[in-house]
A and B are shown apart, each in its own frame.
Chain A
Amino acid sequence: MKKLFAILLVAIMLLTCTALAEFDKSIPDGTEFTFWHSFSGVNEEVLKKQVEEFEALTGYKVDLQYIGGYNVIHTELASANAAGSGVPALTVINVPRLTSYTTDKLVEDLNPYIAAWPDEINFDDFYPGMTDMMQNGGYQAALPFGQSGQIFFYNKTLMKEMGIEFPTKMEDFGDWLKKVYEYTGKPALDVHGTDNAYFYCLFTNADAFMIDVATNTTGLASDNALNLIKDLRSWVDAGYIKWVDTDVSNTLKMDFTSGACAAVLFTSSSYANYKDVAEKGQNGVTFEVGIGNQPVGISGRNEQYVAGATLIIPSNPCNTQAQKNAAFKLICYLTAPERQLEWVHASSYYITRKSASTDPQYAEAYAAVLADLPEMAVLDLNVYVAKTKHELFDKCGDIFEQYMSEIMNNGMDPEEGWETMCEEINDTLADK
């Protein structure tokens, strides 16, 4: 038995060694590859510029293509992969898709690449929460690129005028909503209702998780979750909260920047845009934008989840190893602190590198970021953690947000809706 174990161990070590040794690092000059992305407007311009710099630097040729939102990229990628042609060597994808991509080996394990170019990628410099979310059982499916979280934007000017602070604890939340509502006569908060990612934090910080992996059932079937749903519903009924489930990003932006609500729960990457519109008073009111982290729930935590754009290298053999290598070099280039510090001005994505804020060589650039986007300092990346990695998470999330939408906006009874929702999620989980 011992012998067998030893042989096995040696075999595994040998295999890993040969795998590492055999990793072909070569990239011929003029290698061409395709890069799919989902960015538009200013973000696309910055990305284009950085890719062009990369081309000039390396001599590789990048075919940068705007495909559409994450869902469109996913659909296109899955079917191109099934066809075995037209798969890009590098693409942007959102975090929740990664789990099933890993299971299906749709993407390259990036570990050999990281081992091959350790200095270029400087892996340990990424925030560990981010890279952890992108690996599953040691399989590094992606690297962080345009990370964002679920946070609150609030009207800082209004808060000063009222002489109150944005709440940091969930227990103070109801009070705050009521005060603002009574002061302004308008909803205090707009919640993004078609993506569970945003309001899910409120639930996990109350210890109610979507999937309890041990029992393979939903953790939302708890009193905490039910109470939270009831609270939210009563706030919606009272007019404190507007649960937005149609034309969401436009509505949130319009409501917030025109003063129709005092705060929104949305993605941190809207910061630069909101700030710009609000400070210029483009929609009628001029005010200062504040950022609030998730409020501390009854669990004592105020976590938010790693989300946003990651970079993956699809494993499909229609791209050569050289193309994949060149793609990895582009990952190294785009995720380097210099580029991240440049990119943040336009995109207000989280800076994925620890050194960007600590290393003196970036001090000037970092100070410029804070001068431009002061509330970035409020963001707490230590509470930026990995979500449950489960293939059916997204599917369950769909059910979650659909029922929440029915309960909040369509008059479904909270308790009844919550019960059916939990049954349906459990049914879906049992299906696997």
Chain B
Amino acid sequence: MTNNMTAVRSPHRRIKSGLIVRYILAVIITIIMVFPLFWMLSTSLKTEQQVMSSRLVFWPTAPQWVNFSYPFQKVPFLRYMLNTALITIMQMTSELLLGILAAYGFSKGKFHGKHFLFIVVLGAMMIPIQVTFIPLYIVIARIGWMNTYLGVWIAGCVSSYTIFLLRQSFMTVDDSYIEAARVDGMGKLGSIFRIMVPMCKPTVITVALTTFMGGWNNYFWPKIIIKVQDMYVLTVGVQRLKTSYGNDATANYHQIMAGVLLSVIPVFIVFAIFQRHMLSGFTKAAMK
């Protein structure tokens, strides 16, 4: 009897203590991972004395909301936000539109050279902007697209990765749906946007989110193309919040952090709303 009892209880207890250890470890790791973001928030609410003090202030007792006005005074911050938003929207629109059309063509279309053209698309994945930026930059400069939205947009106007992901997803839709749509008199575009896109909604959302993040967080290319302060995007603009060069240490991290925080708020919002889609979408990508 006793023998039997321990046989039942001991694995149970082991599982339970294992779970506690797992919880503790997980919480510690989560705290470490969230800490930089917490520190950004906490710093952005401090005074300069608290930032430059030898004592560690974890959370200011009197939050300095006034810090958040600094980015707007020092640089045209609102303009940066507008620029970033516009460029992101342009890139999302063209990447998705071109991507969906091409994905349909590559998955359901019938034409000569389809396979070859698809390899062309896949091959472009292997050519990063870090290799092509010099000629691209020269072309943009020649046609007068420096310091314009178009100049930033063009490098990210179409993505082979998007086409690839959407094509994989469209492939899973059975041909009979398209046949049925055509029977009902629906045109090609109609069947793409009324049948394919709704049926592959999760992938389309994932791709849209990836595009949004890519546009919002883009740094390398805008840094090259935008030379006029009024046209900066946020990622480049926040770098200009530092007050110092030369002799002095940057002493305004509370204000810089306020700027950084403002620049990432849209990302937090999008992440909070679409978090589930982001996680599932990436998993699919890996499972191709």
When A and B assemble into the complex, do they touch directly, with CB atoms less than 8 Å apart? yes
Residues of A within 8 A of B (CB): 38, 40-41, 65-66, 68-69, 76, 79-80, 82-86, 249-250, 253, 267, 269-270, 273
Name the A residues within 8 Å of B144 (CB-CB): 83-85
Bound-complex Cα distance A83 to B142 (A): 6
Assess the A86–B243 pair: CB atoms within 8 A. no
In the complex, how many residues of chain B place their beta carbon closer than 8 angstroms to a beta carbon of chain A?
A: 19
Are A83's CB and B246's CB within 8 A?
Answer: no
Give the Cβ gap from B228 to chain A, nearest Cβ, in Å.
5
> Across the interface, which residues of A come within 8 angstroms of B118, CB to CB?
none
Chain A residues within an 8 Å CB radius of B244 = 40-41
A69 near B246 with CB under 8 A, answer yes
Q: Which of B146, B244, B246, B248 has the most CB of A within 10 A?
A: B246
Q: Which of B144, B227, B249 has the most chain A CB within a 10 Å cutoff?
A: B227
Q: In whole angstroms, what is the CA distance A85 to B240 when docked? A: 21
B47 at interface by CB-CB < 8 Å: no
| B245 CB-CB contact with A under 8 Å | yes
**Chain B positions within 8 Å of A250 at CB level:** 248-249
Are A40 and B147 CB-contacts (below 8 A) given A79-B137, A83-B141? Answer: no
> Residue of A at shortest CB range from B140?
A83
Tell me, yes or no, whether B130 is within 8 Å of chain A by CB: no
| A residues less than 8 Å from B229 (CB atoms) | 65
Known: A69-B246, A79-B224. 14 other contacts (CB 8 A): A40-B244, A40-B245, A40-B246, A68-B240, A69-B245, A79-B141, A82-B138, A83-B140, A85-B144, A86-B147, A86-B227, A249-B247, A253-B248, A269-B247
Cα distance A253–B140 in the bound complex, in angstroms: 43
CB distance from A83 to the nearest CB of B (A): 4
Q: What are 27 inter-chain pairs, A to B, with CB distance below 8 A?
A: A40-B245, A40-B246, A41-B244, A41-B248, A66-B240, A68-B245, A69-B246, A79-B141, A79-B224, A80-B227, A82-B141, A83-B146, A84-B141, A84-B146, A85-B144, A85-B146, A85-B147, A86-B227, A249-B246, A249-B247, A249-B248, A250-B249, A253-B247, A253-B248, A267-B246, A269-B247, A273-B248
B72 to chain A, nearest CB (A): 15
Main secondary structure, interface of B, reads loop
Alpha-carbon distance A79/B137, docked complex (angstroms): 9
A173 CB, nearest partner CB in chain B, Å: 25
Chain B nearest CB from A349 CB (Å) reads 12
One digit per residue, 1 when the CB lies within 8 angstroms of any chain A CB and 0 when it does not, for chain B 141-152 equals 100101100000
- Give the Cβ gap from A33 to chain B, nearest Cβ, in Å: 13
Bound complex: CA A76 to CA B225 (Å): 10
CA distance A267 to B247 in the complex (A): 10
In contact, B240 and A86 (Cβ under 8 angstroms): no
Q: Do A79 and B247 have beta carbons less than 8 Å apart?
A: no
- Bound-state CA distance A82–B229 (Å) is 17
| Residue contact A273 to B146, C-beta cutoff 8 Å | no
Question: Across the interface, which residues of A come within 8 angstroms of B147, CB to CB?
Answer: 83, 85-86
Residue in B141, B146, B243 whose beta carbon sits within 8 Å of that of A40 in the complex:
B243
Residue from the set A85, A267, A270, A273 with the largest chain B CB neighbour count within 10 Å = A85
- Across-interface contacts of A38 in B (CB, < 8 A): 245
The chain A residue with its CB closest to the CB of B143 is: A83
Chain B residues contacting A273 (CB-CB under 8 Å) are 247-248
CB neighbours of A41 from chain B (8 A): 243-244, 248
Residues of B within 8 A of A253 (CB): 247-248
Q: How far is the CA of A253 from the CA of B249 in the complex (A)?
A: 10
B135 to chain A, nearest CB (A): 13
* Chain A residues, Cβ within 8 Å of B138: 82
Q: Which chain A residue has the least Cβ–Cβ distance from B246? A: A249
Q: Taking A66-B240, A68-B240, A79-B137 as contacts, is the C-beta distance between A86 and B247 under 8 angstroms?
A: no
| Contacting pair B246 A79 (CB below 8 A) | no
Per CB-CB distance, the 5 closest pairs between chain A and chain B, nearest first, are A83-B146, A83-B141, A80-B227, A86-B227, A86-B228
**What's the nearest-Cβ distance from chain B to residue A62, in Å?**
14
The docked-state distance in angstroms from the alpha carbon of A45 to that of B131 is 41
In the complex, are the beta carbons of B247 and A76 less than 8 A apart? no
Shortest CB-to-CB span from A74 to chain B, Å, is: 12
Chain B residues positioned under 8 Å from A84 (CB to CB): 141, 144, 146
| Chain B: CB-nearest residue to A253 | B247
What does the 1/0 interface line of B220-232 toward A look like (CB < 8 Å)?
0000100111000
Instruction: Looking at the assembled complex, report how far the CB atom of A308 sits from the nearest CB atom of chain B, in whole angstroms.
Output: 11
Instruction: Specify the chain A residue showing the minimal Cβ separation from B146.
Output: A83
Name which residue of chain A comes closest to B226, CB basis. Answer: A86
A66 to B228 Cα, complex, angstroms: 11
A61 and B16 CA atoms in complex are apart in Å by: 73
B residues 231-288 touching A (CB-CB < 8 Å): 240, 243-249
Q: Which of A38, A41, A253 has the most CB of B within 10 A?
A: A41
Q: Which residues of A contact B245 (CB under 8 A)?
A: 38, 40, 68-69
* Smallest CB separation, A15 vs chain B (Å): 32
Looking across the interface, which residue of chain A has its beta carbon closest to that of B244?
A40
User: In the complex, A273 Cα to B243 Cα: how many Å?
Assistant: 16
Q: Which residues of the partner chain B approach A86 to less than 8 Å between Cβ atoms?
A: 146-147, 227-228
Closest A residue by C-beta to B245: A69
> B188 to chain A: closest CB distance in Å?
41
In the complex, residue of chain A having the shortest beta-carbon distance to the beta carbon of B224: A79
In whole angstroms, what is the CA distance A107 to B224 when docked? 22
In the complex, are the beta carbons of B247 and A83 less than 8 A apart? no
B contact residues around A65 at 8 Å (CB):
229
Q: Is the CB of B240 within 8 A of A79?
A: no
Inside 8 A of A66's CB, which chain B residues have their CB? 240
CA distance A253 to B229 in the complex (A): 31
With a CB–CB cut-off of 8 A, which chain A residues contact B227? 76, 79-80, 83, 86
> Which residue of chain A lies nearest to B75 when distances are taken between CB atoms in the complex?
A66
The docked-state distance in angstroms from the alpha carbon of A84 to that of B137 is 13
Q: Which single residue of chain A is at the shortest CB-CB distance from B147?
A: A86
Given contacts A66-B240, A86-B147, contact A270 B224 (CB under 8 A): no
